[in-house]
C-alpha cells in the first residue's frame, strides 16, 4: 500500500492487535454472507428469468427446516461475536493494578494533561511504551471523548463525573488524539498527539519538564488551603470522617447503603457532600462546586489516595 | 356477511368510510386507548428521570418534598376523584340519553377541573415566593439535588396542568354538543372518548401526588 | 371484476378540484400526495446541506465554510433528513395511500386526524427550519446535553419545540394505522392474509406510539432547561447528562427501525412481484417485523458503550443488539429464497430490489461490528458509524422508498414513467451510493471521527472519493425527479395492473376513485397468490375506443 493512501490505522498498543483480529473475524463472516446472498440473488435473477409474460413461479410457500437453519446459524454466530467482544471490552475496561496515572481534563476545545510528577502539557501526551497507563478523565464543560485510534481506545469525558481508560503503548511514535464526541465550534480542532517514548527517554523528558509540584503535593496544599483538614483530621477527632485508607475501602452510609469508595465517590463527596453521608456523621459539609476546578479535583483525589490509615488504628483485617 | 354498505338509512352520524355504528364506536374507543398508551410513554420519560434522581439524591428528595404543601395536594386529589365520578355519570347519562344528567355532570366536571387549576395556581405562587423555582433566583442555600426535584416538579405538574386545560376545553365542546341533543343511546362516542381522556389525566395525578408530596415525608 | 381498461371513472385526483379542496381533503390518498410533495421538498433541502458538507470535506483544511457554519450544516442535514424526510417517507406516503386499499377499507379510521397529522408535520417543520433565520442550530441532530442545554449559542429552544410538535404528527399517523388495521379490515381479510407491507407498517406504528412520546418529552426537557431554567441534565446543579442519552436513544434507536421496517415491507411486495411467486415463509417475514419492533426497544444502550454507563448494562445491551440482527437475517434469507424457481421479470422494480439488497446487506452486517462491545470502543463516533447508518437509512430506507414509489407510481398518478431511465437511475443510485459511503467505512476504521470540519491530510483521498460518489448519487436522484415529473404530464396512461401483481390495490382502476371501493370487497385468497395473477401489462393495450380517437 502506498504511503499516500493508507487504508488501515497504525497499531501501537497491546489491545490494538486483538481488536483487529476481532474486526477481521466479523469482516470474514460478513463478507461470506454478503457474497453468498448477493451471488444467489444474481444467479436466480438470470437462471429463473421469466420466459413468457405472465408465467408464475413455482408454488413454494416456505420450509420450516430452512427457517430454523437460517435463524439458528446467525444466532450462533452473533453470540460468538458477542462473547468475544464482551471479553475484549472487559480487558479494555479493567486497568492493571500497576498502571501509572495520568490526569486529563477536557474543555472547549483543548486537552490538558497532567502527569503525577507535576509536568503539564496541552494537546500533547507523552507516555512510556510497554507500561500500562491509566487515564483519569474529567470535563469542565460539555461531554468530550478521548480517542486514540492507533491504540483502539476511546472514552467519553463527562462533566460531573470522572471516567477512566487505560492502554499500554507498544511502539515508539506519534499518534493522533481526537475528540470523538461533538462538543461545539472547534470540535475538529480538539486534537492532539500522543508521543510514545522509550521508558528512559520518558524519564528524561519528565525531568526536563517545567513542574509546579507533583499532583500529590498540589493536592496536599489544596487540602490545607480549602480547610478540608480542619474537619478531616488524621485521627478520629474531626467533625468529618478520617480519610486515611478510605480509597478503595467499603464505606457504610447513614442510610444503610454500603458503597465502594472509588474516584467518583471521592469526587461526589467533594462536589455534592450531602448525597452520600458516612454513618455516624452529620450532613454539614458545604459543597465545593464552583470552588475547585476539575484539575484541582484530580489533585485532591490523588492526595487522598495516598493517605494511609492512622498508626493507632491498624488496617482492619477481618476474616 | 355484513360487507355490503348498510342499505337501510344509515345513522346521520355514521361517517362514510365505516360500515356500521358499532365499527365506528369500536374504532374511536380503540383509538383513544392507543392514544393513552402514547400518553403513558410521554409521562413515563419524566417518571424515569424522577426515579433516577430520587435514587441519586435520596436526602434532597426528602427535604424537597417537605417544601410541598400536602394539604393542598390532597385537596386537589379529592377534587379530581370527584371529577372522575361526575365524568363517569355524564357518560352514563349520555348512554341513557338523559340530557339533564349530561349537562349537570359535564358542568360539574368542568367546574372541578377549574378548581384544581386554581389550587395549583396558588401552590405555584407560593413556590415563587419561597425561591423554589429553579433558575437564577433559586435559593442557593438549599442542598444539591433539590433544584432538580423542583425542575421535575414543575415539568410534571406543568405538563399535567396542560392536559387538564386541554381536557376542560374538550369538556366545554362536549357540553355544547350535549346541549344540542347530539348524544343518545346509539351515538355517544365523543362523550365516551373524552371521558377516557379525563380519567387518564386524573390517574396521572394519582401517581404524581404520592411521588412528589408524600413519599419523602414517610422517609423523614 | 376489473373493467378499468374499458371505462375510467373520475379519480381521486380530479374531483373535487382546486387548491382548497386539496388542503382540506380527508381522503387518505390526497393526504399521501401532500406528504409526498412536502417530503420531496425537505429531501431537496437536506440534500443541499449534504452537498455543501461533501464539498467542504474535499480538502483537509476547513476552507469552504467556517467551523460554525459546518456544524450548523450537518445538524440541519440530520434534523431535516430524519425528522422531516425519512420518518414520514414510507409510512406517511405509501402507507397512507395503500394501507386502507390493501385491507379493503374506504379510508383510514380517522380521516380528519390524518389531515391534522400533515398540518402538524408542516407546522413543526416550519418552526424547526425557522432557526435558519434565527441563528441556526449546531447541536447535531442528537441534541446531546449539556452541550445543547447550556453551551450552544444557537436557537436550540425553537428547534426543540419544532421537533416536539413534529413528533405528534408521527404519533397520530401510527395511532391511525393501528386502529385502521385492527378495525377496518374487509371481510375475509384475516391477519395472515394481510400484505407484508401492512405488517411492516403495523410494526412501525407500534414504535411510533411507544417511542415518539419519549423523545418528544426529552427534547421538551432540553427546551425547558434553556428557556425556563428547569435544569434536569445540567451537571452544575447535580444533573446527569448521560440520562439524556438514555431517554434520547430509547426512542431514537427504535426510530432507525421506523426508517427501515416499512422499507422491508415494500421490498417484500416487490420481491414477490418480480419473482411472481408466493413470498417464502410469509409468517416468518411477518413476525420478524414485530420481533424487530419489540426487541428494537431494548437495545438503545449500544449507543453508549463508552459513555460511562455500567459495563454490565453494556453487556445486556450488546447481547440484545446481536439478537436483533437475527430477524433481519431471516428476512434477507426469505427474500432470497422467494426468488428461487421464480419467474423473474426484468422490469424496473427488479433493479430496485437488487439495489436494496446489496446496500441493506452491507448496512445490516456492519451493524454487527458496532454491536460488538470491544470493537465498538474503536468504531464509536467515527465515520464507520456514519457509513453504517447511511447504508441502512439511505441505502436501505430510501432505496426501498424509491422502489415502492416506482412500483406504485402508476397506481398513484395513473401515468407510466420511462422504464429505461428508471433502470439507469436505479444503477446510478446504487453505484453512486457505494462510492460515497464505502470509503467512509475505511475512514472510520482508520479513526476519522464524525462531525469533523477539518481533518488530518492522510484521510483526504478517501474523502475525495466519497464526494465524487455523492455527485453520482445526486445525479441519480435528480434524474428520478425529472422523469417522474415528466411522466405526470407526458407519460402514457397506466393500466390498472401494470406489473401483473396481486392485492386489492391492483384491482382498482389507476388512479383509484375517491372512496376506493364502491362495495367493500370480500377477500377469499391469501396474499401473493401469483398462480392466479394476470400477466404484466406495462401499457394500455390499444382498445377500440382509442383507435377511434386516432
Q: Is the pLDDT of residue A168 over 60?
A: yes
Please give the grid coordinates belonging to residue B182.
Answer: 347530539
Q: Which residue of A has its CA nearest to B144?
A: A272
- The DSSP bridge pattern shows strands A153-157 and A120-122 to be unpaired
User: Would you state the pLDDT for residue B158?
Assistant: 93
User: Would you state the pLDDT for residue A311?
Assistant: 56
Please give the angle made by the CA atoms of A155, A161 and A167, to the nearest 5 degrees: 30
The DSSP annotation for A54-89 comes to T---------HHHHHHHHHHHHHHHHHHHHHHHHHH
Mean pLDDT computed over A69-84:
95
Work out how many CB contacts closer than 8 A connect A with B.
Answer: 24
CA C49 to chain centre: 19
Please give the grid coordinates belonging to residue B160.
Answer: 399535567
| Closest-CA distance of chain B to residue A184, Å | 24
Q: Is the pLDDT of residue C6 over 80?
A: no
Q: Does the beta carbon of A18 lie under 8 angstroms from any beta carbon of chain C? A: yes
Please give the grid coordinates belonging to residue C380.
Answer: 464509536
Contact criterion met (CB < 8 Å) for C212 and B38: yes
Contact criterion met (CB < 8 Å) for A271 and B59: no
| Closest-CA distance of chain B to residue C95, Å | 17
Report which of B182, B206, B15 is spatially closest to residue B93, judged by C-alpha positions: B182
Q: Is C200 left (phi over 0), alpha (psi -120 to 50) or beta?
A: alpha
Q: Does the beta carbon of B34 lie under 8 angstroms from any beta carbon of chain C? A: yes
Tell me the per-residue pLDDT of A247-270, one tens digit each, with 9 for 90 and over. 888 888 887 788 888 888 888 888
- Rounded Cα distance between C251 and C257, Å, is 10
Q: Is the pLDDT of residue C402 over 80?
A: yes
Q: Which helix (H) or strand (E) holds A173?
A: strand A173-179
Q: Does the beta carbon of A272 lie under 8 angstroms from any beta carbon of chain B? A: yes
Residues 469-498 in C contacting A (C-alpha not used; CB under 8 Å): none
Domain ranges of chain B: 21-219
- Rounded Cα distance between C225 and C240, Å, is 13
Sheet of strand A100-107, all strands in order from the earlier edge strand to the far edge: A120-122, A110-114, A100-107, A133-139, A163-167
User: Would you state the pLDDT for residue A210?
Assistant: 74
Q: Residue C398 burial by CB count (10 A; 0-12/13-18/19+): exposed, middle or buried?
A: buried
| For chain C, percent of residues with pLDDT exceeding 70 | 97
| For chain A, percent of residues with pLDDT exceeding 90 | 54
Tell me the per-residue pLDDT of C65-81, one tens digit each, with 9 for 90 and over. 999 999 999 999 999 99
User: Would you state the pLDDT for residue A310?
Assistant: 64
Asked if residues C176 and C114 have their Cβ atoms less than 8 Å apart, the reply is yes
**Mean pLDDT (chain C, rounded):** 91
| Closest-CA distance of chain A to residue B49, Å | 17
Q: Is the pLDDT of residue A313 over 60?
A: no
- Binned at pLDDT 50, 70 and 90, residue C541 comes out as low
- Rounded Cα distance between A260 and A247, Å, is 8
Please give the grid coordinates belonging to residue B72.
Answer: 393542598
User: Would you state the pLDDT for residue C94?
Assistant: 96
Ranges of H-type helices in A102-227: 199-208, 215-225
Mutate to test the interface with A, among C373, C427, C529 (most CBs of A within 10 A): C373
Contact criterion met (CB < 8 Å) for B134 and C229: yes
Tell me the per-residue pLDDT of C149-195, one tens digit each, with 9 for 90 and over. 888 889 999 999 999 999 999 999 999 999 999 999 999 999 999 99
DSSP C344: B
Least CB–CB distance from B27: residue in C179, C187, C229:
C179
Q: What SS3 class is residue A179?
A: strand
| Closest-CA distance of chain C to residue A206, Å | 28
- Rounded Cα distance between C117 and A201, Å, is 67
User: Would you state the pLDDT for residue A240?
Assistant: 83
Tell me the per-residue pLDDT of C480-501, one tens digit each, with 9 for 90 and over. 999 999 999 999 999 999 999 9
Buried b (16+ CB within 10 A) or exposed e, C461-477: bbbebbbbbbebbbebb
User: Would you state the pLDDT for residue A207?
Assistant: 86
CATH 1.20.120.80 is the classification of domain B21-219 = yes
User: Would you state the pLDDT for residue B184?
Assistant: 83
Q: What SS3 class is residue A318?
A: coil
- The sign of the torsion formed by the CA atoms of B140, B141, B147, B153 equals negative
Q: Does the beta carbon of A276 lie under 8 angstroms from any beta carbon of chain C? A: no
Tell me the per-residue pLDDT of C210-246, one tens digit each, with 9 for 90 and over. 988 888 888 898 999 888 888 888 888 888 899 999 9
Least CB–CB distance from A287: residue in B56, B57, B144:
B144
Q: Which helix (H) or strand (E) holds A111?
A: strand A110-114
Q: What SS3 class is residue A253?
A: strand
User: Would you state the pLDDT for residue C336?
Assistant: 95
* Backbone phi, psi, residue C53, to 5°: -60, -45
- Binned at pLDDT 50, 70 and 90, residue A230 comes out as confident
Ranges of H-type helices in chain A: 16-47, 64-93, 199-208, 215-225, 228-231, 263-271, 294-306
Mean pLDDT computed over C344-351:
93
- Rounded Cα distance between C358 and C384, Å, is 18
- Distances in Å between the Cα of C366 and the Cα atoms of B61, C249, C329, C387 are 44, 19, 13, 9
- Rounded Cα distance between C277 and C501, Å, is 10
> Which residues 6+ apart lie within 8 Å of C520 measured at CB?
B3, B4, B5, B19, C104, C105, C106, C186, C187
Asked if residues C429 and C356 have their Cβ atoms less than 8 Å apart, the reply is no
Between B167 and C309, the more confident residue is: B167
Contact criterion met (CB < 8 Å) for B134 and C522: no
- The DSSP bridge pattern shows strands A133-139 and A100-107 to be parallel
Q: Does the beta carbon of B37 lie under 8 angstroms from any beta carbon of chain C? A: yes
Cis status, amide bond into A109, omega within 30 of 0: yes
Least CB–CB distance from C447: residue in A71, A75, A149:
A149
CA A294 to chain centre: 17
Q: Is the pLDDT of residue C537 over 90?
A: no
Domain ranges of chain A: 8-44+65-212, 215-306
- Distances in Å between the Cα of C376 and the Cα atoms of A90, A114, A154, C326, C369 are 13, 28, 9, 19, 7
Between A180 and A280, the more confident residue is: A180
> Which residues 6+ apart lie within 8 Å of B102 measured at CB?
B90, B93, B94, B175, B178, B183, B191
Residues of A in contact with C334 (CB under 8 A): 62, 67
Q: Is the pLDDT of residue A4 over 80?
A: no
Report which of C373, C383, C384 is spatially closest to residue C306, judged by C-alpha positions: C373
Contact criterion met (CB < 8 Å) for B145 and A274: yes
Contact criterion met (CB < 8 Å) for B45 and C171: no
Q: Does the beta carbon of B60 lie under 8 angstroms from any beta carbon of chain A? A: yes
> Which residues 6+ apart lie within 8 Å of A78 measured at CB?
C322, C323, C325, C326, C368
Q: What SS3 class is residue C123?
A: helix
User: Would you state the pLDDT for residue C1?
Assistant: 41
Domains of chain C: 23-549 (1.20.210.10)
**Side-chain half-sphere exposure of C164, counting CA atoms within 13 A:** 15
Rg (C-alpha) for chain B, rounded Å, is: 21
Please identify which residue in the block is written with the cell numbers 446472498: A37
Asked if residues B217 and B70 have their Cβ atoms less than 8 Å apart, the reply is yes
Q: Which residue of C has its CA nearest to A25?
A: C369
Q: Does the beta carbon of A279 lie under 8 angstroms from any beta carbon of chain B? A: no
Chains adjacent to C (≥3 CB pairs closer than 8 angstroms): A, B
Residues 209-228 in C contacting A (C-alpha not used; CB under 8 Å): none
Least confident of B36-40, C57-61, C190-194, C464-468: B36-40
| Closest-CA distance of chain B to residue C309, Å | 13
Q: Does the beta carbon of C542 lie under 8 angstroms from any beta carbon of chain A? A: no
Q: Which residue of A has its CA nearest to C319?
A: A82
Residues of A in contact with B143 (CB under 8 A): 274, 283, 287
CATH tag, A8-44+65-212: 2.60.40.420
Right CATH number for A215-306 from 1.10.10.10, 3.40.50.450, 1.10.760.10, 1.10.3720.10? 1.10.760.10
| For chain C, percent of residues with pLDDT exceeding 90 | 79
User: Would you state the pLDDT for residue C165?
Assistant: 94
Q: Is the pLDDT of residue C452 over 70?
A: yes
User: Would you state the pLDDT for residue C205?
Assistant: 94
- Rounded Cα distance between A189 and C61, Å, is 11
- Rounded Cα distance between A244 and A27, Å, is 51
User: Would you state the pLDDT for residue A192?
Assistant: 94
The DSSP annotation for C475-535 comes to HHHHHHHHHHHHHHHHSPBPPS-TT---SGGGGS-SSPPTTS-SS-----S-TT-GGGPPP
Packing angle, helices C419-446 and C399-413, rounded to 10: 160
Q: Is the pLDDT of residue C467 over 60?
A: yes
Q: Which residue of C has its CA nearest to A160?
A: C235
Q: Give the ipTM of the model, two decimals please.
A: 0.91
Residues 118-157 in B contacting C (C-alpha not used; CB under 8 Å): 134-136, 144-145, 147-148, 151-152, 154-155
Q: Is the pLDDT of residue C400 over 90?
A: yes
- Rounded Cα distance between B166 and A150, Å, is 57
- Binned at pLDDT 50, 70 and 90, residue A52 comes out as confident
Contact criterion met (CB < 8 Å) for A182 and C144: yes
Work out how many CB contacts closer than 8 A connect A with C.
Answer: 297
Cis status, amide bond into C16, omega within 30 of 0: yes
pLDDT beneath 50: ranges in chain B: 1-6, 219-220
Amino acid at each position: 500500500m502506498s504511503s499516500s493512501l493508507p487504508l488501515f490505522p497504525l497499531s501501537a498498543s497491546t489491545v490494538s492487535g486483538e481488536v483487529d483480529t476481532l474486526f477481521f473475524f466479523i469482516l470474514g463472516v460478513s463478507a461470506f454472507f454478503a457474497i453468498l446472498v448477493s451471488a444467489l440473488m444474481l444467479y436466480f435473477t438470470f437462471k429463473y428469468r421469466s420466459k413468457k409474460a405472465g408465467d408464475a413461479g413455482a408454488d413454494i410457500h416456505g420450509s420450516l427446516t430452512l427457517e430454523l437453519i437460517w435463524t439458528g446459524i446467525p444466532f450462533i454466530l452473533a453470540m460468538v461475536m458477542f462473547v468475544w467482544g464482551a471479553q475484549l471490552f472487559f480487558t479494555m475496561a479493567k486497568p492493571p493494578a500497576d498502571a501509572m496515572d495520568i490526569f486529563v481534563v477536557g474543555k472547549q476545545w483543548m486537552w490538558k494533561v497532567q502527569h503525577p510528577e507535576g509536568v503539564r502539557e496541552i494537546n500533547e501526551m507523552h507516555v512510556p511504551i510497554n507500561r500500562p497507563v491509566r487515564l483519569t478523565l474529567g470535563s469542565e464543560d460539555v461531554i468530550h471523548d478521548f480517542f486514540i485510534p492507533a491504540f483502539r481506545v476511546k472514552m467519553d469525558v463527562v462533566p460531573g463525573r470522572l471516567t477512566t481508560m487505560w492502554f499500554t503503548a507498544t511502539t515508539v511514535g506519534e499518534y493522533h488524539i481526537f475528540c470523538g464526541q461533538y462538543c461545539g465550534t472547534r470540535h475538529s480542532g480538539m486534537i492532539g498527539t500522543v508521543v510514545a517514548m522509550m521508558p528512559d527517554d520518558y524519564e528524561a523528558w519528565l525531568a526536563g519538564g517545567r513542574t509546579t509540584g507533583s499532583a500529590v503535593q498540589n493536592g496536599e496544599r489544596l487540602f490545607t488551603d480549602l480547610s478540608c483538614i480542619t474537619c478531616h483530621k488524621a485521627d478520629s477527632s474531626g467533625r468529618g470522617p478520617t480519610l486515611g485508607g478510605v480509597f478503595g475501602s467499603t464505606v457504610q452510609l447513614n442510610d444503610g447503603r454500603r458503597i465502594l469508595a472509588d474516584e467518583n465517590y471521592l469526587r461526589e463527596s467533594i462536589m455534592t457532600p450531602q448525597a452520600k453521608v458516612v454513618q455516624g456523621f452529620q450532613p454539614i459539609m458545604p459543597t465545593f462546586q464552583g470552588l475547585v476546578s476539575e484539575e484541582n479535583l484530580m489533585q485532591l483525589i490523588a492526595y487522598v489516595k495516598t493517605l494511609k490509615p492512622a498508626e493507632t488504628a491498624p488496617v482492619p483485617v477481618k476474616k | 356477511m355484513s360487507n355490503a354498505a348498510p342499505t337501510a338509512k344509515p345513522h346521520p352520524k355514521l361517517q362514510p368510510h365505516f360500515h356500521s355504528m358499532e365499527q365506528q364506536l369500536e374504532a374511536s374507543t380503540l383509538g383513544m386507548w392507543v392514544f393513552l398508551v402514547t400518553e403513558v410513554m410521554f409521562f413515563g420519560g419524566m417518571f424515569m428521570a424522577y426515579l433516577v434522581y430520587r435514587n441519586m439524591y435520596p436526602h434532597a428528595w426528602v427535604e424537597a418534598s417537605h417544601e410541598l404543601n400536602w394539604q393542598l395536594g390532597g385537596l386537589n386529589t379529592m377534587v379530581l376523584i370527584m371529577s372522575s365520578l361526575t365524568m363517569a355519570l355524564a357518560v352514563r347519562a349520555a348512554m341513557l340519553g338523559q340530557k339533564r344528567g349530561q349537562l349537570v355532570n359535564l358542568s360539574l366536571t368542568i367546574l372541578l377541573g377549574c378548581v384544581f387549576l386554581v389550587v395549583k395556581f396558588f401552590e405555584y405562587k407560593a413556590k415563587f415566593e419561597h425561591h423554589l423555582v429553579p433558575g437564577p433566583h433559586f435559593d442557593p442555600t438549599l442542598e444539591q439535588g433539590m433544584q432538580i426535584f423542583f425542575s421535575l416538579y414543575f415539568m410534571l405538574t406543568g405538563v399535567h396542568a396542560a392536559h387538564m386545560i386541554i381536557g376542560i376545553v374538550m369538556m366545554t365542546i362536549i357540553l355544547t354538543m350535549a346541549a344540542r341533543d347530539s348524544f343518545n343511546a346509539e351515538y355517544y362516542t365523543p362523550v365516551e372518548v373524552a371521558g377516557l381522556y379525563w380519567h387518564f389525566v386524573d390517574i396521572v395525578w394519582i401517581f404524581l401526588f404520592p411521588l412528589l408530596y408524600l413519599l419523602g415525608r414517610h422517609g423523614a | 371484476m376489473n373493467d378499468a381498461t374499458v371505462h375510467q371513472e373520475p379519480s381521486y385526483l380530479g374531483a373535487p378540484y382546486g387548491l382548497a379542496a386539496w388542503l382540506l381533503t380527508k381522503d387518505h390518498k390526497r393526504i399521501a400526495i401532500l406528504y409526498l410533495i412536502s417530503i420531496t421538498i425537505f429531501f431537496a433541502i437536506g440534500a443541499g446541506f449534504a452537498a455543501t458538507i461533501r464539498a467542504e470535506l474535499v480538502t483537509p483544511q476547513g476552507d469552504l465554510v467556517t467551523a460554525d457554519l459546518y456544524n450548523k450544516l450537518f445538524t440541519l442535514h440530520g434534523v431535516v433528513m430524519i425528522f422531516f424526510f425519512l420518518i414520514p417517507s414510507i409510512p406517511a406516503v405509501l402507507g397512507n395511500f395503500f394501507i386502507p386499499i390493501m385491507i379493503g377499507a374506504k379510508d383510514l379510521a380517522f380521516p380528519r386526524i390524518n389531515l391534522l397529522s400533515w398540518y402538524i408535520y408542516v407546522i413543526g417543520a416550519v418552526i424547526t427550519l425557522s432557526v435558519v433565520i434565527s441563528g441556526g442550530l449546531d447541536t447535531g441532530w442528537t441534541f446531546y446535553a449539556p452541550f445543547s442545554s447550556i453551551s450552544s449559542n444557537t436557537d436550540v429552544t425553537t428547534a426543540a419545540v419544532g421537533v416536539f410538535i413534529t413528533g405528534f404528527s408521527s404519533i397520530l399517523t401510527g395511532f391511525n394505522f393501528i386502529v385502521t388495521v385492527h378495525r377496518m379490515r374487509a371481510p375475509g381479510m384475516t391477519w395472515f392474509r394481510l400484505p407484508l407491507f401492512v405488517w411492516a407498517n403495523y410494526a412501525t406504528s407500534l414504535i411510533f406510539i411507544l417511542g415518539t412520546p419519549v423523545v418528544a418529552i426529552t427534547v421538551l426537557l432540553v427546551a425547558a432547561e434553556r428557556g425556563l431554567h428547569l435544569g434536569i441534565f445540567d451537571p452544575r446543579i447535580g444533573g446527569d447528562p448521560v440520562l439524556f442519552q438514555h431517554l434520547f436513544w430509547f426512542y431514537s434507536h427504535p426510530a432507525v427501525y421506523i426508517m427501515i421496517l416499512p422499507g422491508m415491507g415494500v421490498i417484500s411486495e416487490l420481491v414477490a412481484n418480480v419473482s411472481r411467486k408466493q413470498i417464502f415463509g410469509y409468517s416468518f417475514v411477518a413476525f420478524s417485523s414485530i420481533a424487530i419492533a419489540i426487541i428494537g426497544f431494548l437495545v438503545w444502550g449500544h449507543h453508549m458503550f463508552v459513555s460511562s454507563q455500567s459495563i454490565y448494562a453494556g453487556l445486556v445491551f450488546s447481547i440484545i443488539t446481536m439478537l436483533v440482527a437475527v430477524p433481519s437475517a431471516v428476512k434477507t434469507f426469505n427474500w432470497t429464497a422467494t426468488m428461487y424457481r421464480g419467474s423473474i421479470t426484468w422490469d424496473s422494480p427488479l433493479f430496485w430490489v437488487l439495489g436494496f439488497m446489496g446496500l441493506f446487506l452491507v448496512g445490516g452486517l456492519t451493524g454487527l461490528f458496532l454491536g460488538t462491545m470491544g470493537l465498538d470502543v474503536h468504531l464509536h463516533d467515527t465515520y464507520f458509524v456514519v457509513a453504517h447508518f447511511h447504508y441502512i437509512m439511505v441505502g436501505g430506507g430510501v432505496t426501498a422508498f424509491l422502489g415502492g414509489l416506482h412500483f406504485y407510481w402508476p397506481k398513484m398518478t395513473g401515468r407510466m414513467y420511462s422504464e429505461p431511465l428508471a433502470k439507469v437511475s436505479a444503477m446510478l443510485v446504487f453505484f453512486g451510493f457505494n462510492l460515497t459511503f464505502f470509503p467512509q467505512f475505511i475512514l472510520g476504521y482508520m479513526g476519522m471521527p464524525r462531525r469533523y470540519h477539518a481533518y488530518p491530510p492522510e484521510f483526504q483521498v478517501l474523502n475525495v472519493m466519497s464526494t465524487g460518489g455523492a455527485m453520482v448519487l445526486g445525479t441519480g436522484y435528480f434524474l428520478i425527479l425529472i422523469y417522474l415529473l415528466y411522466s405526470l404530464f407526458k407519460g402514457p396512461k397506466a393500466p390498472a395492473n401494470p406489473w401483473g401483481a396481486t392485492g386489492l390495490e391492483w384491482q382498482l382502476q389507476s388512479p383509484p376513485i375517491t372512496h376506493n371501493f364502491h362495495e367493500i370487497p370480500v377477500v377469499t385468497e391469501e396474499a401473493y397468490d401469483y398462480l392466479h395473477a394476470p400477466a404484466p401489462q406495462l401499457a394500455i393495450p390499444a382498445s377500440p375506443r382509442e383507435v377511434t380517437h386516432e
